[in-house]
């Protein structure tokens, strides 16, 4: 079984020393859903929301969040991300929005937390912008879809179930 990398020999939390690691291309993708009433989703799709373009705002918020993950999550390293994408897709048949994020860099540590943070904050931004019209939206599940690069190798999540 793998060891917790952020816990030292005496059980204390610490930031992992990555100075001896080789730089490799690393990439991670994450997804999350925001479930809402059909009328709320329609307002987003047709652009009639009084706060403006919900998807554009959520996309920018997700990108900003990925870049600032190290300030939000203790023990995360500050990273020089080379690519951040946040894609939002309305899924009227499920009355939800699907958010997928992608983060990439060439570096010594992975970008899973950045991808998860980007997706999370994009979802929270949708909630924030739409809470005046619906407070019972549901965010989740949030998950890592895939990661590549680094010592631990590649990971691909099982297919999602609707």
Instruction: Output the known binding site.
Output: 75-77, 113-114
φ, ψ at 92 (rounded to 5°): -60, -30
| CB atoms inside a 10 Å sphere around CB 95 | 16
Kindly state the tokens that stand for 35.
């479930």
Distance CA 63, CA 58 (A): 9
Please enumerate in sequence order all residues whose Cβ is within 8 A of that of 56, keeping only pairs 6 or more positions apart, or say none: none
Catalytic residue among 46, 53, 128, 136: 128
Indicate if 154 belongs to the active site.
Answer: no
Tell me the DSSP string of 105-162. EEESS--HHHHHHHHHHHHHHHHHHHTTT-S--EE---EEEEEE-STT--EEPPPP--
Q: What angle do CA 55, 96, 115 make, to 5 degrees?
A: 60
Tell me the DSSP string of 26-42. EEEEEEEEEE--HHHHH
Q: Extract the annotated binding site for substrate.
A: 75-77, 113-114
Positions marked catalytic: 128
């Amino acid at each position: 079984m793998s060891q917790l990398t952020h816990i030292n020999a005496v059980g204390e939390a610490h930031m992992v020393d990555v100075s001896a690691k080789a730089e490799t291309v690393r990439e991670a993708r994450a997804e999350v859903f925001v479930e809402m009433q059909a009328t709320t989703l329609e307002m987003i799709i047709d652009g009639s929301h009084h706060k403006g373009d919900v998807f554009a705002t959520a996309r920018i918020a997700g990108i900003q969040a990925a870049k600032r993950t190290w300030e939000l999550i203790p023990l995360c390293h500050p990273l020089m991300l080379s690519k951040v994408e946040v894609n939002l897709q309305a899924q009227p048949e499920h009355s939800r929005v699907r958010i997928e994020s992608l983060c990439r860099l060439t570096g010594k540590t992975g970008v899973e937390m950045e991808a998860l943070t980007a997706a999370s904050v994009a979802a929270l931004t949708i909630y924030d912008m739409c809470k005046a019209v619906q407070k019972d939206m549901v965010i989740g599940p949030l998950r890592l879809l895939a990661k590549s690069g680094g010592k631990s190798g590649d990971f691909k999540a099982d297919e999602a179930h609707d």
